Amino acid sequence: MTLFEKAPAKINLSLDVLDKRNDGYHNVEMIMTTIDLADRIELRPLEKDRVKVALESRYVPSDERNLAYRAAALFKKEYNIKKGVHIQVEKCIPVAAGLGGGSTDAAAVLRGLNKMWKMDIPIDELSDLGAELGSDVPFCVHGQTAIARGKGEVIERLNPPPPCWVVLAKPNIGVSTRTIFQRVKPGKLPHPDTAELLTALKNGDFNRMCSHLGNSLEDITFSVHPEVERIKEKMRQAGAEGVLMSGSGPTVYGLVQHESKAQRIYNSMQGFCHEVYLVRLLG
């Protein structure tokens, strides 16, 4: 039996860096939601007890460094499974973009193997397992809309944002999350007003949500890659109602309520930026 699992990208509606931990990571508080831009994961049982990943990408290895591979290997080890799986990854999410591409592939593999091998593992347990692979994997295991705390592994579900369009604009660079976090100086960061954003989501208030988007890492990424700040300005000038850099960047997104306006902004960003997408929030 071949099984397909959709692996949607995420955007950060907020990302607050609270402090540095003894393990070198940072405590964060971030509200994330999924968007309709997705990789496609195909899982096929193998006779032999092995994990094989196939994907066509110039940027992502298909060996044991791939997060999809690592997810399958971890799942097998944790539950002592002596079966094999072939994983085909169709990459549509740009790589090292702040959209959680690798994390969502790993999460989709965990969910998919749980079904394929009829394990019935509860979602919270899968999420805890995912935390061993990366800070964004627990959110991606849950999907939808949630606030993540700790280093990303403490997940609390939230109401989905009001429906809207998302214009994504990515310059022709990849950003290393690690490099951006290394430049963090706690105490010198801006902080989003997470409480206001939570209220906006609770009330389904689109305008209030747009005016309280915020990301502590933006200024650091802007200082390393000034073109990201220019894209943000351009997205705002083009008329997007809420604009923010996602994750550690470099993708900038604009939220827009009406389709015709979103299409106009998409067209104007295309003349300005390497990769542009027009998608819906999945929430």
Ligand X SMILES: C[C@@](CO)(OP(=O)(O)O)[C@H](O)COP(=O)(O)OP(=O)(O)OC[C@H]1O[C@@H](n2ccc(N)nc2=O)[C@H](O)[C@@H]1O
Ligand Y SMILES: Nc1ncnc2c1ncn2[C@@H]1O[C@H](COP(=O)(O)OP(=O)(O)O)[C@@H](O)[C@H]1O
The site map against ligand X for 210-249 (x = CB under 6 A) is: -------------------------------------xx-
- Residue 250 binding ligand Y, by CB under 6 A: no
Question: Annotated catalytic, 10?
Answer: yes
> Any idea which residue has 């819906």 for tokens?
280
Q: Which of ligand Y, ligand X, none has residue 28 at its interface (CB below 5 to 8 Å by kind)?
A: ligand X
- Residue 102 binding ligand Y, by CB under 6 A: yes
Of 156, 32, 11, the residue nearest 98 (C-alpha): 11
Catalytic residue among 16, 136, 151, 234: 136
Our measurement of the distance from residue 151's CA atom to the centroid of its chain's CA atoms, rounded to an integer in Å, reads 14
Q: Which of ligand Y, ligand X, none has residue 35 at its interface (CB below 5 to 8 Å by kind)?
A: none
Question: Annotated catalytic, 77?
Answer: no
Q: Which of ligand X, ligand Y, none has residue 66 at its interface (CB below 5 to 8 Å by kind)?
A: ligand Y
Task: State the number of binding residues for ligand Y (CB under 6 A).
Answer: 19
> How many CA atoms are closer than 13 Å to the CA of 58, on its beta-carbon side?
2
100/192 with CB nearer ligand X? 100
Calpha distance 117→80 (Å, rounded): 12
Q: Which of ligand Y, ligand X, none has residue 15 at its interface (CB below 5 to 8 Å by kind)?
A: ligand X
Binders of ligand Y among residues 17 to 76 (CB under 6 A) are 59-60, 65-68
End-to-end CA distance of the chain: 30
- Residue 15 binding ligand X, by CB under 6 A: yes
- Residue 257 binding ligand Y, by CB under 6 A: no
Calpha distance 62→138 (Å, rounded): 22
Identity of the residue numbered 115: K
- Residue 247 binding ligand Y, by CB under 6 A: yes
Identity of the residue numbered 105: D
- Residue 135 binding ligand X, by CB under 6 A: yes
Pull the structure tokens for residue 98. Answer: 């702040």
Identity of the residue numbered 198: L
Beta carbons of 74 and 132 less than 8 angstroms apart: yes
22/172 with CB nearer ligand X? 22
Output helix, strand, coil percentages for the chain, rounded to the nearest 5.
Answer: 35, 30, 35
Q: Which of 100, 130, 171, 242 binds ligand X (CB under 6 A)?
A: 100
Binders of ligand X among residues 23 to 82 (CB under 6 A) are 25-26, 28, 30
Q: Which of ligand Y, ligand X, none has residue 152 at its interface (CB below 5 to 8 Å by kind)?
A: ligand X
- Residue 96 binding ligand Y, by CB under 6 A: yes
Residue 71: CB atoms within 10 Å: 33
Strands 252-256 and 165-170: antiparallel
Q: What are phi and psi of 248, to 5 degrees?
A: -90, 5
Q: Which residues are annotated as a binding site for ATP?
A: 94-104
| Residues of the shown chain interacting with ligand Y in the complex, contacts defined by CB under 6 A | 59-60, 65-68, 89, 95-103, 105, 177, 247
